[in-house]
C-alpha cells in the first residue's frame, strides 16, 4: 500500500446497530442535550466573560452573538454528520469517514488539545469558586499553597486534582449514572444563573453600554475567539454516538436543544452583568477569581446571593469537567478502536461498560496539568482547536453530500450548500482574530501528533487489514 493511499484512506461507515466496541446505548435525548449544556454553560459566564469583556467592552454581547452564530451553523452541520455517521469519536470519526486518515489524525490533535487544556483550566477555576464558597460559609479559605501550582507561587492546586479524580471515578462507574448526575447539576446551575440575572437586572444601568464598542470590530472578533472555545459542549454531544439510543434522531435533536439553551443563557447573563457596572470593572483584580459572585455581592450588599452563586458555580464547573472528560475518553476510545492508538485505549470493562484504562490515563494527565501548570493564558488554544474541528465538520457535510447523496440521514442541513459554506466562513473570520502565538503553539502540537501517526499510527491502523478480512461494513 503506497504512502499516499495510506494517508487518504477512509473508514467505512458502520450501521448504528452493528457498532463494535462493547459500549451500550443507554442515553436519551434529554440526557444528551444536558451533556451539551453541561459542557458549555458555566465556562463562558463564570470564567471567560471576565477575560473577553476587556477585549471588546459592552460589545462583548456581539461577541457572544458572533460565537453563537458560528456555533449554530456548525451545530446544523454536526447534526447532519451525526445522523449520517452515528458513532463515537465526534469530528475525528467524521473526518475519517469523509476526508481520510491523515486529516482525521490532524483533527484528533485539535480535539485532544481543546478537551485536555479546557478541562484542566476549568478545574483550576473550580478551585477559585470553592475557596470563595468556603470563605463565605465558614470564614475559612483553602491555603494558597495548595490552590496554585509551583509556577504561581504554590505547591499544587489540590482542589483541581480532587475534582478531576471525582469525575474520573464517576465516569468509571458508568455512563448512565454520569448522565443522570450531570442532568441534575445542569438544572441546578441554570437555576442559579437565572437567579443571578434576575438580581443583576435590579441594578441595571443603560449608561454602562454608552461606550459600546471602544475597541471596534477587531475587539469584537478577538473576544469572540476567546469565547468560542466554550462551545466545545456541542462537540462533546457528538462523542456519545455509540452510547445513544436511536442515534440518527437523538444526536441532531440534542445538538439543537443544547445550542438554543446555551446561547439564550449566555446573552441573558452577559447583558445582566454588563448592566451592573462599567465594562472596565471586569478587569479589576478582585474579579479575576469568582467574578460573578463579586458582582452579585456588590449589587445586593450582602453575601447570601454570592454564596448561592458560588455554590452554583462549584456544581456547574463539576458538570463541565465531567462531560468534557467524558468526551475526551470517547475520542481516545474511537482512535484506539481504529488501531491508531494502542488497543488498551479501546478496551471496555465488562462490568461497567466503560473504558477504564482510557479514563484513568485521561484523568492522570489532566490532574497533572491542573495541579502544576498555569493554563489560564491558553483559552485561545482551545478556541483554535474547536474552530478547526467545526470547519472540518462543515467540509465533511459537503463532501458526503457530493460523494454519497443517497446515504441515509436523520437530519439534513437546510439551505445546502449555503449554510455549510457560511459556517466555514464564520469560523475563518473568528480565527483571524486570534494572536499569531496561538497559531505557533497549535502548529507545534499538530506536528507532534502527526509525527506519532507517521511513525506508529499508520502502521497499526485497522485499515491495513484487507477489506475481505474485516467485518462486513457499509463501505463509503
Report all structural domains of the chain as residue ranges with CATH numbers, in order of start: 25-460 (1.20.1740.10)
Contact at 8 Å (CB) between 134 and 124?
no
- pTM recorded for the entire structure: 0.80
Q: Band the pLDDT of 22: cuts 50, 70, 90.
A: low
Reported as a single tens digit per residue, the pLDDT across 379-389 is 667 778 878 88
The DSSP secondary structure of 294-327, one letter per residue, reads HHHHHHHTSSHHHHHHHHHHHHHHHHHHHHHHHH
Whether residue 463 has pLDDT greater than 60? yes
pLDDT > 90 in the chain, percent: 10
- Residue 452 grid coordinates: 506519532
Contact at 8 Å (CB) between 32 and 251?
yes
Find the range with the poorest average confidence among 83-87, 182-186, 337-341, 449-453: 83-87
Q: What is the pLDDT of residue 473?
A: 40
Q: What is the pLDDT of residue 282?
A: 81
Contact at 8 Å (CB) between 404 and 476?
yes
Whether residue 363 has pLDDT greater than 90? yes
Q: Band the pLDDT of 105: cuts 50, 70, 90.
A: very high
Q: What is the pLDDT of residue 193?
A: 85
- Residue 295 grid coordinates: 458582582
Whether residue 194 has pLDDT greater than 70? yes
Q: What is the pLDDT of residue 376?
A: 59
Q: What does the pLDDT average to over 142-154?
A: 81
The pLDDT mean for the chain works out to 81
Contact at 8 Å (CB) between 263 and 44?
no
Q: Band the pLDDT of 51: cuts 50, 70, 90.
A: confident
For residues 32 and 24, give the distance between their C-alpha atoms in angstroms, rounded to a whole number.
14
Q: What is the pLDDT of residue 476?
A: 34
Q: What is the pLDDT of residue 19?
A: 47
Q: What does the pLDDT average to over 165-182?
A: 82
Reported as a single tens digit per residue, the pLDDT across 275-308 is 888 888 887 777 666 667 778 878 877 777 778 8
Q: What does the pLDDT average to over 180-192?
A: 82
Amino acid at each position: 500500500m503506497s504512502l499516499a493511499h495510506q494517508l487518504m484512506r477512509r473508514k467505512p461507515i458502520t450501521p448504528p446497530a452493528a457498532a463494535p466496541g462493547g459500549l451500550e446505548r443507554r442515553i436519551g435525548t434529554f440526557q444528551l442535550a444536558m451533556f451539551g449544556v453541561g459542557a458549555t454553560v458555566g465556562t463562558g459566564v463564570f470564567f471567560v466573560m471576565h477575560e473577553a469583556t476587556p477585549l471588546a467592552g459592552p460589545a462583548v454581547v456581539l461577541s457572544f452573538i458572533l460565537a453563537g452564530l458560528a456555533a449554530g451553523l456548525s451545530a446544523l452541520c454536526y447534526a447532519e454528520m451525526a445522523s449520517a455517521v452515528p458513532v463515537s469519536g465526534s469530528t475525528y470519526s467524521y473526518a475519517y469517514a469523509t476526508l481520510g486518515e491523515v486529516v482525521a489524525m490532524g483533527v484528533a490533535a485539535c480535539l485532544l488539545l481543546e478537551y485536555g487544556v479546557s478541562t484542566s483550566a476549568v478545574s483550576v477555576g473550580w478551585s477559585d469558586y470553592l475557596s470563595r464558597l468556603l470563605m463565605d460559609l465558614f470564614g475559612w479559605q483553602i491555603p494558597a499553597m495548595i490552590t496554585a501550582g509551583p509556577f504561581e507561587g504554590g505547591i499544587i492546586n489540590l482542589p483541581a486534582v480532587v475534582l478531576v479524580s471525582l469525575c474520573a471515578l464517576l465516569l468509571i462507574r458508568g455512563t448512565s449514572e454520569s448522565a443522570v448526575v450531570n442532568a441534575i447539576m445542569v438544572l441546578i446551575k441554570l437555576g442559579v444563573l437565572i437567579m443571578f440575572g434576575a438580581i443583576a437586572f435590579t441594578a441595571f444601568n443603560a449608561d454602562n453600554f454608552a461606550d459600546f464598542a471602544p475597541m471596534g470590530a477587531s475587539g469584537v472578533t478577538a473576544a469572540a475567539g476567546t469565547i468560542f472555545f466554550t462551545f466545545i459542549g456541542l462537540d462533546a454531544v457528538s462523542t456519545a454516538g455509540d452510547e445513544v439510543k436511536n442515534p440518527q434522531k437523538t444526536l441532531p435533536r440534542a445538538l439543537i436543544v443544547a445550542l438554543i439553551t446555551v446561547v439564550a443563557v449566555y446573552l441573558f447573563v452577559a447583558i445582566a452583568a454588563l448592566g451592573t457596572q462599567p465594562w472596565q470593572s471586569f478587569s479589576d483584580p478582585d474579579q479575576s477569581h469568582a467574578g460573578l459572585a463579586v458582582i452579585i455581592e456588590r449589587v445586593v450588599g450582602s453575601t447570601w446571593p454570592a454564596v448561592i452563586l458560588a455554590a452554583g458555580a462549584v456544581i456547574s464547573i463539576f458538570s463541565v469537567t465531567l462531560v468534557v472528560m467524558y468526551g475526551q475518553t470517547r475520542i481516545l476510545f474511537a482512535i484506539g478502536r481504529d488501531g491508531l492508538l494502542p488497543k488498551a485505549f479501546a478496551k471496555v470493562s465488562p462490568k461497567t461498560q466503560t473504558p477504564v484504562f482510557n479514563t484513568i490515563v485521561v484523568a492522570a494527565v489532566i490532574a497533572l496539568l491542573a495541579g502544576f501548570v498555569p493554563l489560564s493564558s491558553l483559552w485561545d488554544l482551545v478556541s483554535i482547536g474547536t474552530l478547526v474541528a467545526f470547519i472540518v465538520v462543515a467540509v465533511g457535510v459537503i463532501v458526503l453530500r457530493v460523494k454519497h447523496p443517497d446515504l441515509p440521514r436523520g437530519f439534513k442541513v437546510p439551505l445546502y450548500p449555503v449554510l455549510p459554506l457560511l459556517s466555514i466562513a464564520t469560523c475563518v473570520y473568528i480565527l483571524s482574530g486570534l494572536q499569531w502565538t496561538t497559531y505557533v503553539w497549535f502548529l507545534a502540537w499538530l506536528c507532534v501528533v502527526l509525527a506519532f501517526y507517521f511513525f506508529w499510527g499508520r502502521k497499526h491502523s485497522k485499515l491495513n487489514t484487507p477489506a475481505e478480512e474485516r467485518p462486513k461494513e457499509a463501505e463509503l
